[in-house]
Amino acid sequence: MSEPSAVKDALRNQRIETPSWGYGNSGTRFKVFAQPGVPRDPYEKLADAAQVHAATGVAPKVSLHIPWDRVEDYGKLAAHAGSLGLELGAINANVFQDDDYKLGSVTNPDPRVRRKAVDHLLDCVDIMDATGSHDLKLWFSDGTNYPGQDDVAARQDRLAEALGEVYARLGDDQRILLEYKLFEPAFYTMDVPDWGTAFAHCLRLGPKAQVVVDTGHHAPGTNIEFIVAFLLREGKLGGFDFNSRFYADDDLMAGAADPFQLFRIMHEVVRNGGLDERTGVAFMLDQCHNIEAKIPAVIRSVMNVQEATAKALLVDADALGAAQRGGDVLAANAVLMDAFSTDVRPLLAEVREEMGLRPDPVAAYRATGWAEKTAAERVGGEQAGWGA
Ligand code: PSV
Ligand code: MN
Ligand code: MN
């Protein structure tokens, strides 16, 4: 177990990045339930994100999705973020919503469509230059639905070529974060279905390319914490898209469905140096809130990540090491379970009070009256992209 003050420092210093699309209306393909007071543009999404940061003190960064967050002047948007005490975080390049992308974006068999997709990725690097963002987050919906539909290996060649062109355009302090997903929207093959594929492309690209682990993108039962430990060991874990799943890519609140899994992931992060800022692991949320109020749901998710982190920090590393070296399976497991079973809410409340915050972030947010104010002022809120 780290010193109590070191645990507190680590909790104070951890940054959790929230997604602009988490503040917009969203739903499933069956229904989008509009909520009152939802932001009408990226500026208002930032204003909502600032509420999350004000209540938690650890969420100053906001990821954008382009074109969902298209604005005329990205420098102005970044300045607006700055005026709210925020920073713009990862730029997510969206190449999955044009009709042109029916058969893929960067892996499309048509070179014209590939060019269009790569140009969008390059535009996103221009946006990063304007916003001061360091991360280009790439998730491709590309894949095939039927055996024989396209040449699976040729699609990998096209992907490698596109990634290579974008990588060459990155500035010194910019990186590609490549995200994988097992299935959906393609059902037979995805072109980046798993961490191995993402890892291989990132390895070939070089040090400025790393893998993103979206916790909702695996087959049921996948041991995500193993992937995390492996990627960290290789210096290739760029960050997380945290969310919860019961069945598929549910995008529910992080830590809601399986807090034990989140703890196991954070244990590997802590144990393998991933909380050290120099490792560069981005703790991002990628979730949407279909039926629950959005800002408190984001706050709750931030708190859930903090609780898992706190428990991971409380693991008695000396006792764990001794049990592991001694081959004492039950003792080693007990060390982890003791940490997981600890109620860390009082510790986090203390950390917040020491930061000058209220101990309960959800109550702090409710006390601001922001929900009532925006419900009265904002009419006709935006849908968060595709209802994802
Ligand atoms: C795809 O399912 C994904 O996880 C990617 O990160 C997208 O950018 C995001 O969802 C859109 O919500
Ligand atoms: Mn994601
Ligand atoms: Mn997803």
In a structure prediction context, what are the per-residue pLDDT tens digits for the chain, which is 388 residues long? 567 899 999 999 999 999 999 999 999 999 999 999 999 999 999 999 999 999 999 999 999 999 999 999 999 999 999 999 999 999 999 999 999 999 999 999 999 999 999 999 999 999 999 999 999 999 999 999 999 999 999 999 999 999 999 999 999 999 999 999 999 999 999 999 999 999 999 999 999 999 999 999 999 999 999 999 999 999 999 999 999 999 999 999 999 999 999 999 999 999 999 999 999 999 999 999 999 999 999 999 999 999 999 999 999 999 999 999 999 999 999 999 999 999 999 999 999 999 999 999 999 999 999 999 999 999 876 666 644 4
Query: Is residue 388 included in any domain, yes or no?
Result: no
Query: Is residue 288 included in any domain, yes or no?
Result: yes
- Give me the phi and psi of 34, to 5 degrees please: -70, 145
Query: Is residue 385 included in any domain, yes or no?
Result: no
With a 6 Å cutoff on the Cβ, whether 241 touches ligand 1 is yes
Query: Is residue 83 included in any domain, yes or no?
Result: yes
Query: Of 287, 247, 103, 99, which is closest to residue 186 (Cα–Cα)?
Result: 103
Query: Is residue 145 included in any domain, yes or no?
Result: yes
Cα–Cα distance for residue pair 257/255, rounded to 1 Å: 6
With a 6 Å cutoff on the Cβ, whether 242 touches ligand 1 is no
The predicted pLDDT at position 4 comes to 84
Query: Is residue 67 included in any domain, yes or no?
Result: yes
Residue corresponding to tokens 């004492």: 328
Amino acid identity at 8: K
Cα–Cα distance for residue pair 267/153, rounded to 1 Å: 36
- The pairing of strands 237-242 and 143-144 is unpaired
List of residues 6+ apart from 351 with CB closer than 8 A: 8, 11, 12
The beta-carbon contacts of 330-335 under 8 Å, at least 24 apart in sequence, are none
Q: How far is CA 109 from the centre of its chain?
A: 30
Q: Which atom of ligand 1 is nearest to the CA of 212?
A: 6
The beta-carbon contacts of 38-43 under 8 Å, at least 24 apart in sequence, are 38/294, 38/374, 38/378, 38/381, 38/382, 39/378, 39/381, 39/382, 40/378, 40/380, 40/381, 40/382, 41/71, 41/382, 42/69, 42/70, 42/71, 42/77, 43/71, 43/77, 43/80
Q: What is the distance in A from the centroid of ligand 2 to the CA of 313?
A: 26
Q: What is the distance in A from the centroid of ligand 3 to the CA of 190?
A: 13
The predicted pLDDT at position 7 comes to 97
Cα–Cα distance for residue pair 134/263, rounded to 1 Å: 27
The predicted pLDDT at position 387 comes to 43
- DSSP state for residue 102 in the 8-state scheme: G
Cα–Cα distance for residue pair 304/69, rounded to 1 Å: 27
The predicted pLDDT at position 41 comes to 97
Cα–Cα distance for residue pair 248/240, rounded to 1 Å: 17
Query: Is residue 387 included in any domain, yes or no?
Result: no
Amino acid identity at 134: H
With a 6 Å cutoff on the Cβ, whether 249 touches ligand 1 is yes
- Give me the phi and psi of 19, to 5 degrees please: -90, 135
Query: Is residue 351 included in any domain, yes or no?
Result: yes
Q: Are 231 and 199 in contact (CB under 8 A)?
A: yes
The predicted pLDDT at position 388 comes to 40
- How many structural domains are present in the chain? 1
Q: Mutation test of ligand 1: which of 135, 137, 139, 298 has the most ligand atoms closer than 8 Å to its C-beta? A: 139
Q: What is the distance in A from the centroid of ligand 2 to the CA of 244?
A: 11
E-strand stretches of 197-332: 209-214, 237-242, 282-285
Q: Mutation test of ligand 1: which of 18, 124, 241, 383 has the most ligand atoms closer than 8 Å to its C-beta? A: 241
The predicted pLDDT at position 329 comes to 98
CB hemisphere CA count around 122 (13 angstroms): 13
Q: What is the distance in A from the centroid of ligand 3 to the CA of 290?
A: 15
State which residues form the domain around 123. Answer: 4-377
Neighbours of 175 (CB within 10 A): 25
Cα–Cα distance for residue pair 82/330, rounded to 1 Å: 50
Q: What is the distance in A from the centroid of ligand 1 to the CA of 227?
A: 19
With a 6 Å cutoff on the Cβ, whether 179 touches ligand 1 is yes
Q: Which atom of ligand 1 is nearest to the CA of 214?
A: 4
Report residues near ion ligand 3: CB below 5 Å: 249
Domain of 218: which CATH number?
Answer: 3.20.20.150
With a 6 Å cutoff on the Cβ, whether 152 touches ligand 1 is no
Render 163-230 in DSSP notation, one character per residue.
Answer: HHHHHHH--TT-EEEEE--SSSS-SSEESS-SHHHHHHHHHHH-TTEEEEEETTSS-TT--HHHHHHH
Q: How far is CA 340 from the centre of its chain?
A: 23
Measured from the alpha carbon of residue 241, the closest ligand is: 2
Residue corresponding to tokens 């000058």: 356
